[in-house]
Amino acid sequence: MSDLVVIGFDDEHTAFAMRAELIKLQKDYLLEMEDVVVVTKGADDKVKLHQAVNLTAAGAAGGTFWGLLLGMLFLNPLAGAAVGAGAGALSGKYTDIGINDQFMKELGETFTPGSSALCVLVRKATPDKVLEELKGFQGRVLKTSLSADQEETLQKILDQG
């Protein structure tokens, strides 16, 4: 079972820095994330979701490959690649994996302009080592599916930033 953790910040940059640190921890096998998204609300009051993986681009790349392959079977690889890229991009745009995009957009609407949040769906973690690496970040826990004790420990670490 995965745990959802949403941490809010007063600026837009800290969420990106924490996401980079979590990705580093994942590469060191201390953390396994299903999804990690930075939600920002700019000075213009627009909420933006900064996904770690661009699903539209990934869909276009996969669609191009399959379209090219099918196009070769019908002796028109360029048309097949073009149609495949378009279909793949469209399906990637409407695919939602991990954390629900609507939930994050609604949460972002409650932010003050210039603030951000980091939304993480954690599959597995080594808590003591991960929390040690997060001591430099100062934020507040907005939402979580962690136990009350785990949430309190996380908030204490973020208060030390």
User: What are the sequence ranges of the domains in the chain?
Assistant: 3-52+98-159, 55-93
Model pTM?
0.70
Distance CA 156, CA 8 (A): 14
- Tokens representing 137? 């970040």
Residue 56: per-residue pLDDT? 47
pLDDT in tens, the chain (161 residues): 688 999 999 998 999 999 999 999 999 999 998 889 999 998 899 999 988 754 444 555 565 665 655 566 666 666 655 665 565 555 555 555 568 889 899 999 999 999 999 999 998 988 889 988 888 888 898 888 888 888 888 888 888 76
Q: Is 88 exposed, middle or buried (0-12, 13-18, 19+ CB in 10 A)?
A: buried
Considering the segment(s) 3-52+98-159 as one domain, its CATH architecture is 3-Layer(aba) Sandwich (3.40)
- The rounded Cα 112 to chain-centroid distance in angstroms is 20
